Amino acid sequence: MKKAPKQEPDERLTVTPPKKWAAGVPAVTHALEYSLEEATLRTTATTLLTMNQVDGIDCPGCAWSDPAPGHRHMNEYCENGAKHINDEATGRRITRDFFRTHSVSELNRQSDMWLNQQGRLTEPMIKRPGSDYYEPISWHDALGLVADELKSLDSPDEAAFYTSGRASNESAFVLQLFARAFGTNNLPDCSNLCHETSGFGLHETLGTGKGTVGLEDFYQADLVFLVGQNPATNHPRQLSALEKCKVNGGKIIAVNTLPEAGLFRFKNPQQVRGVIGNGIKISDLFLHIRSGGDLALFQGVNRLLLEAEDAAPGTVLDNEFISAHTSGFEEFAEHARGVSWDDILTATQLTRQRIEEVRDYVLRAKRVIVCWAMGVTQQRHGVPTVREIVNFLMLRGNLGRAGAGASPVRGHSNVQGDRTMGVWEQMPDEFLDALQAEFGFDPPREHGVDSVKAIKAMREGRIKVFLSLAGNFVRAAPDTHITDEAIRRCRLTAQISTKLSKAHTVTGETALILPCLGRTEIDIQAGGVQFVTVENTSSEVHTSFGKLPPASRLLLSEVAILCRLAHRTLGDKVKVPWLEFEAEYGTIRERVSRIVPGFHDFNRRVTRPGGIKLPNPVNEGVFATPTGKAMFTRNDFDMSRAPAGALVLQSMRSHDQWNTIPYTDNDRYRGIHGGRNIVMVNPEDMSDLGLTRGQYVDIIGVWDDDIERRVDGFVVVPYPTTRGCAAAYYPEVQPLVPLDSVADISNQPTSKGIVVRLEPTTPPPGAKSAHFHE
């Protein structure tokens, strides 16, 4: 068994210029370095060679799609996928001795990275009221205790059930079934913090919340937009798809507040030219946009397209598509024609010439895809931005045909599947009716709480039991101090987890750690060896088979934990065969096949190579909107400004982390090594604000209430971010995101649009000195 690494903090924070290309040979070396630090050579070989293969382990990283069976590379994974999988397959273990020597409050003071590095959780633990230590507890007693707490509540709505997107379809389905059979729709999830905005924007306009493109579409596209997305770090194999697009003659436009490495050049380590050559140029046009300026950009482009049509009628717009499949065009067009250029240029900080160049690329392209991620969704006006992107696509009929469409690139490997399985606080009546018909109970109809509302309800004492299926809610959610206080007010918190995190150190009066199998591990139940299923960003549902022996013999699968808990809580009150579900997951899929559209014959179809491709109604010309057509919308963009002396801060991921969990404190592509408490500022803003490079500052939130939001001791790093826009890492700056600062309509926290001031400070005790290399 591997011991936890001794922490040897790097004395130096080193800053080198950002990289201009991504991947290549260093990516392979870095992946192996991290893997071997965590796991043995044999384990690494097992995980990596079966990763993303038919009958293999689905990568627990992002939701990017696999090529069709027969077209997969022997190494069908990226540097970061290798890190994610071996972070789970680590040889390190946390035993009961660990919890005897480390109190909960002491663990709470450790860094996110340190907690994760301690290894896999191995047995159920309880922190009892008044105690500051976790102690062992049997599964029987642990689940009995949760069941008793749930049964003692005055109303089922006093409980909330959080899900993070690594949970499988099977466990997600069981969780939502349990919550609804218990009587609540309180199903907050990580999607509320991630692509909720996309779901709303797409649903309103197209009648479906999902993306409309598959991997093959990228190969055929003439033009791909990458808006507010950092593929080299967060969806690395997307670069292979973009490479194919380029080789086939496609063009790429990147829109970002930062010049991210992978937006410029990609050296594909799976190809000879990537290993020895200069790789391939990715972006043909880079738009260095102001934070939150994307809506104005697409309005500008739409206005130019309308004007081009006026100048040469019948040559620019797809009038056939517009009249057959859309509604609201006239109102939209009238509005778009009236948008002022001054406003567009101020909101985007781009020149008109730049936006005209975009128009020219668009006019030359028959097939256009727009990809976006957190740079769009975690903004106040994210929903209208997504709607405006849809307007843009519809103008030239770039929907429902090959090589074109909308691509909200999903984060977690099964975040989309969890929603498909019913993990949403607002599931539509058709889904609830189907549950009712299948299981005979009456699911609650009133919407439940999302993540932000859950925090408010816990804070006000309205939610008393918080159960989490995967994830790290206290670090993923905004306004850390408020969220922590809310969780601490709960009577019971219970975490179904693979690894230790802050989620186990910020607890209710009673807290439980319920350790579970990860996706890499062999899952044997009474009915034999089980597999689970997941859905990727292209709506393909496929299997994932665990390959490694479990990290501890005391682990249960997520499905087993949830089924036993449901059985203990509900007994025979509802006619759900929980124990049959636990014994054989095929019986869960059988039910799903009768409840969720597109899943007929689920068990048989999902085991075919490549799995099931779920139909997207948009691609069949069906729009489930009030008009039965795709809807053009009129949107107004955000002209609000940070007050003088303030900056708009985005909180983003480094190259070496998985969401709330940093693996190391390096961010290779951005040239940051040995530290995460840094804030990237445009050199001209630095001189305006009188800041020097390497200087220490506190970051202070600017928000209209009387709460002070501050993080201390961050090093200023000059960086080519857009003027007025700064950048720092998530979750370190999480305390700065106000709970009430949410996107209109979707209620998603605005983690990319945080208004802050930087206040010079003296270096904290033991501070690292920063070294800058040109």
Ligand X SMILES: Nc1nc2c(c(=O)[nH]1)N[C@H]1C(S)=C(S)[C@@H](COP(=O)(O)OP(=O)(O)OC[C@H]3O[C@@H](n4cnc5c(=O)[nH]c(N)nc54)[C@H](O)[C@@H]3O)O[C@H]1N2
Binder among 39, 89, 142, 194 for Mo ion (CB under 5 A): 194
**Stretch touching ligand X by CB under 6 A, among 153-161, 286-294, 612-620, 698-706:** 286-294
Binder among 62, 146, 160, 565 for ligand SF4 (CB under 6 A): 62
> Cβ closer to ligand SF4: 236 or 384?
236
Within residues 704-763, the interface with ligand X by CB under 6 A covers 730, 734, 737, 751-752
Q: Applying CB under 6 A, does 651 fall inside the site for ligand X?
A: yes
Measured CA to CA, the distance from residue 176 to residue 559 in angstroms comes to: 12
Binder among 117, 379, 538, 741 for ligand X (CB under 6 A): 379
- If contact means CB under 5 to 8 A according to the sort of partner, which of ligand SF4, ligand X, Mo ion, none does residue 292 touch? ligand X
Amino acid at 157: D
Characterize the bridge pairing of strands 612-613 and 368-372.
Answer: unpaired
Give the tokens for residue 504: 């186990």
> Cβ closer to ligand SF4: 64 or 473?
64
**Stretch touching ligand X by CB under 6 A, among 3-11, 221-229, 307-315, 456-464:** 221-229
Q: Applying CB under 6 A, does 499 fall inside the site for ligand X?
A: yes
- If contact means CB under 5 to 8 A according to the sort of partner, which of ligand X, ligand SF4, Mo ion, none does residue 81 touch? ligand SF4
Phi, psi dihedrals of residue 179, rounded to the nearest 5°: -60, -45
Characterize the bridge pairing of strands 754-760 and 647-652.
Answer: antiparallel
CB-based burial label for 441 (10 Å; 0-12, 13-18, 19+): middle
Measured CA to CA, the distance from residue 404 to residue 366 in angstroms comes to: 8
Measured CA to CA, the distance from residue 295 to residue 636 in angstroms comes to: 8
Within residues 611-650, the interface with ligand X by CB under 6 A covers 650
The 10 Å Cβ neighbour count of residue 227 is: 24
Q: Applying CB under 6 A, does 293 fall inside the site for ligand SF4?
A: no
Phi, psi dihedrals of residue 334, rounded to the nearest 5°: -60, -45
Phi, psi dihedrals of residue 497, rounded to the nearest 5°: -140, 160
Q: Applying CB under 6 A, does 471 fall inside the site for ligand X?
A: yes
Amino acid at 60: P
Q: What single-letter DSSP state applies at residue 263?
A: G
Helices (H) and strands (E) in the chain, counts: 30, 34
Within residues 156-175, the interface with ligand X by CB under 6 A covers 164-166
> Cβ closer to ligand X: 87 or 327?
87
Within residues 179-238, the interface with ligand SF4 by CB under 6 A covers 235-237
Size of the site for Mo ion (CB under 5 A): 2
We find the least distance from the C-beta atom of residue 758 to ligand X, in angstroms, to be 18
**Stretch touching ligand X by CB under 6 A, among 270-278, 526-534, 587-595, 656-664:** 656-664
Residue spans of alpha helices (H) in 51-194: 79-88, 96-101, 104-109, 112-117, 139-152, 169-182
Measured CA to CA, the distance from residue 716 to residue 528 in angstroms comes to: 56
Q: Applying CB under 6 A, does 77 fall inside the site for ligand SF4?
A: yes
Q: Give the position of tokens 């499949």.
A: 325
We find the least distance from the C-beta atom of residue 120 to Mo ion, in angstroms, to be 23
Q: What single-letter DSSP state applies at residue 2?
A: B
- If contact means CB under 5 to 8 A according to the sort of partner, which of ligand SF4, ligand X, Mo ion, none does residue 473 touch? ligand X
Q: Applying CB under 6 A, does 256 fall inside the site for ligand X?
A: yes
Measured CA to CA, the distance from residue 321 to residue 396 in angstroms comes to: 8
Measured CA to CA, the distance from residue 666 to residue 13 in angstroms comes to: 9
Binder among 22, 27, 59, 376 for ligand SF4 (CB under 6 A): 59
> Cβ closer to Mo ion: 194 or 467?
194
Q: Which of 12, 140, 58 is nearest to 547 (CA)?
A: 58
Q: Does 731 sit behind a cis peptide bond, omega within 30 degrees of 0 on the bond before it?
A: yes
Residues that bind ligand SF4 (CB under 6 A): 59, 61-62, 64, 77-78, 80-81, 84, 235-237
Residues that bind Mo ion (CB under 5 A): 194, 411
Residues that bind ligand X (CB under 6 A): 61-62, 80, 164-166, 190, 193-194, 227-230, 233-235, 255-258, 260, 289, 291-292, 294, 373-375, 378-379, 411-412, 469-473, 476, 496-499, 501, 516, 518-519, 558, 650-653, 657-661, 730, 734, 737, 751-752
